[in-house]
Structure 1
């Protein structure tokens, strides 16, 4: 069984209401939070673009074609939803060239631009800000607000969202088949997508077990910990104050995204991880053959700057509007899953 086919356990008791998500693109807004902005000079033109109904790669292709450059001359930091209103940065390598005069297509608009010395690379932005409207809300408002307060104080399990696995979990299914002797991806881009889906699923399985045991936000002996806002790792057993630091939110437990062995947990933590991952050993062996390095990801996701308000849509219909910030690589849908059972229109 994979995390895409299992019901992932909730940390705060499960949804307390029903609502509709993404009734229209404007109900789901995403804004990149950049810590690097264009300096005003250089060979790279940085563009902050608002898009609706376009995926990130399609915008990158359009920019390359319109500017008359190779696709590899276009950079971006992260992938953003197609069925949403999103703002994100792109860069164009234009050595010795003037800024193009773009005729922007429907659904794509320029917010600001500037020159910079470097290309915009994947993972440059550190966080995303979300504004989400959950319409047709049906449930106990006071109970939901109590749940929101708990999430503000304690965070949520840092699951990968279903978007990571492709439509109908197709990327996960094909990735597992490939790694255990099936057909390899025909396109280079699919390789990383399938590998990511497989490793994300294995992480989710370990995290689900930690949630079930009530230790997704607490230390297990032998844990590997990660400081908040850092990619560094250290052994919990090496810090006498580790348990208190985890409870205080200063550091977080982690779980593996398997591959070629890296920094490993030990003791009871290692035993639990091995028990959960044992049925997928053939898949993990395939990851190792592909040269993928094991990394670890925090099991707890702090939800920053969480705010909410109630709006009246039509007579008798309520709307919950949420605004919050998450680190890059985290999923807003995992926040919503702790609050409401959502009805999302099919694409």
Structure 2
């Protein structure tokens, strides 16, 4: 069985060696994130939308609590993505209630949950249906040269960071990949439907991170190469790059388009030439994973190799405390930004 020890993996940085040591999440309020939906709520429809501020609770626990309060099946509750437990997060949930509604949602308010907004809409909230996440982070016990740290922050602001999946994707202990590999090798009891989905997602994300790490080492994580799939900034629209033209290189440099790397699966667009050879080299190291993803008929998808950090601001609170304020598009991880420090 492959022992990945995911949390011990030091994925290569694009900006060079680390310039700072720090602690994050000394308390939940040090890690604040708020969702902005990618669409306007209509205020009519059979789905109640709640903006919930939660502290010290994971998303699925809150979803179950909302379902219990509304007396509906958990499948009637929707959310755009999983948010950190050890944090203060403002997250949208939808609850399908076509004819009835609890008398007072505010009854749910407590030390770990507060209902901030209530609205209605015609559709269930789906995964990834947000415009961006707004992060406010407080880094404590910061050690390192202040000038070098600020230079690195400016580099991140200008170039973005490799769009790695963060540790949250791989379980609280970072061992979802190992558990999944044990299952595939027959050394672990087959998981239920929900956990199987979690494991397959972790495996695919693990492959993506390795492919991206190879591109970082090759200094091509933010450059188009022959046979590449490219993705338009701010969308999921992709196209094949048969030839790396000056115009394409200019658009990549201007961050209008980005290289897109494969989330392993069947069908969809296919890379060619150098891009395909790099994929085959990386994916070929993990035949047990790729065979499982094919057997499970996972559909191929594409994810940008570059994560842009917008509205980026920072301020020294005191000698050893640094506050960061920025926005990331749906699917981006704040931990991937912090990793470049």
State the TM-score, normalizing by the size of structure 2: 0.93
Give the secondary structure class of the aligned counterpart of 2:242: helix
- Partner residue in 2 for 1:258: 264
Whole-angstrom distance in 2 between the partners of 1:187 and 1:93 = 25
- Pair 1:293 & 2:299 matched: yes
Please list every run of 5 or more consecutive structure 2 residues that lacks an aligned counterpart in the other structure. none
Is the contact between residue 76 and residue 120 of structure 1 (CA under 8 Å) also seen in structure 2?
Answer: yes
Cα drift, residue 267 of structure 1: 0.9
Cα drift, residue 177 of structure 1: 3.0
- Pair 1:38 & 2:38 matched: no
Please list every run of 5 or more consecutive structure 1 residues that lacks an aligned counterpart in the other structure. 340-347
Whole-angstrom distance in 1 between the partners of 2:267 and 2:164 = 22
Is the contact between residue 227 and residue 243 of structure 2 (CA under 8 Å) also seen in structure 1?
Answer: no
Whole-angstrom distance in 2 between the partners of 1:209 and 1:200 = 14
Query: Which one of 113, 116, 125 corresponds to residue 121 of structure 2?
Result: 116
Cα drift, residue 166 of structure 1: 1.3
Whole-angstrom distance in 1 between the partners of 2:279 and 2:329 = 25
Query: Which one of 249, 252, 255 corresponds to residue 249 of structure 1?
Result: 255
- Partner residue in 1 for 2:176: 171
Give the secondary structure class of the aligned counterpart of 1:168: coil
Quickly say closer, same or farther: Cα 1:324–1:210, change in 2 above 3 A. Answer: same
- Pair 1:282 & 2:288 matched: yes
1:96-245 aligned at under 5 Å gives the runs 96-102=99-105, 103=107, 104-183=109-188, 185-237=190-242, 240=245, 241-245=247-251
Provide the alpha-carbon RMSD of the alignment. 1.7
- Partner residue in 2 for 1:10: 13
Whole-angstrom distance in 2 between the partners of 1:145 and 1:153 = 12
Whole-angstrom distance in 1 between the partners of 2:215 and 2:78 = 37
Q: Deviations over 1:10-47 (max 9, x none)?
A: 00013211111000000000000113243222222111
Is the contact between residue 3 and residue 202 of structure 1 (CA under 8 Å) also seen in structure 2?
Answer: no
Is the contact between residue 45 and residue 99 of structure 1 (CA under 8 Å) also seen in structure 2?
Answer: no
Query: Which one of 59, 62, 85 corresponds to residue 82 of structure 1?
Result: 85
Q: Deviations over 1:223-266 (max 9, x none)?
A: 11111011111112256321221111111112111112431211
Q: Deviations over 1:247-304 (max 9, x none)?
A: 1111111211111243121111111211111121232011100010111211111111
- Partner residue in 2 for 1:345: none
Whole-angstrom distance in 1 between the partners of 2:149 and 2:143 = 11
- Partner residue in 1 for 2:339: 337
Is the contact between residue 14 and residue 337 of structure 1 (CA under 8 Å) also seen in structure 2?
Answer: no
- Partner residue in 1 for 2:58: 55
Is the contact between residue 67 and residue 100 of structure 1 (CA under 8 Å) also seen in structure 2?
Answer: no
Q: Which moved more, 1:321-330 or 1:1-10?
A: 1-10
Give the secondary structure class of the aligned counterpart of 1:225: strand
Give the secondary structure class of the aligned counterpart of 1:204: helix
State the TM-score, normalizing by the size of structure 1: 0.92
Give the secondary structure class of the aligned counterpart of 2:174: helix
Residues matched between the structures, number? 335
Cα drift, residue 106 of structure 1: 2.3
